Structure 1
Amino acid sequence: MANEHGHVVHAGSSHGSTKSYIIGFILSVILTVIPFGLVMYPTLSESATLIVIWVMAIVQIFVHLGFFLHMNTSSEQRWNVVAFAFTILITVIVVAGSLWIIHGMHSNMLAH
């Protein structure tokens, strides 16, 4: 689709600026370096280190979704967010089902 100036308009597509990519990259590096430093130079207990690693990983997921995949709550991104949520749901079902099956088989093997 072209506008009155002859430029092509891509409806629903949003591309990040160089500034947003740089901010996303810097945040990603920081969110990677902190857990790496905690593992290489242990200053916290093992459980606290594990919690920090999990928190940094979850925050990093949102940084990637926002700054690199440009997923947000805008109406243009609604179907991308729905598709992503469906993917997460299916992944959770497959992983949980696999663990349930493996646990059941393990229990049956110990019973015999």
Structure 2
Amino acid sequence: MRFINNPIEILFEIVKERYPDTDCDIIIGMQMTDGKETLGCTLFPDDPNERVVIEIHPTLSLENATEILAHELAHVIAGKEADHNEHWNAIFAELHVVFQEKLINRFEQYNLV
């Protein structure tokens, strides 16, 4: 069994190819640990031996969950201090452009267009 155009898997491929040292845990859950009513968040631990955690709200559509995951992965890649600065924005934009390219290629490869 294969899921040919899984957007989450495509996003993971992009991050692994372009930012192979990216490492974090991803949790889908109702309550965001940061205490805010958000649809996604990235938690950077104070202890450097602990892992960064991304949380995604489970009620999101697949399209929105992919977009928010890309947003949060850009935070992990850019680092804790980046917030939404130019460096973070460039990474997020890159993920978005490459994602669109890969998705189109996947559709063409399997004649899904």
- Normalised TM-score (structure 2): 0.33
Higher share of residues assigned helix: 1
Higher share of residues assigned strand: 2
- Normalised TM-score (structure 1): 0.33
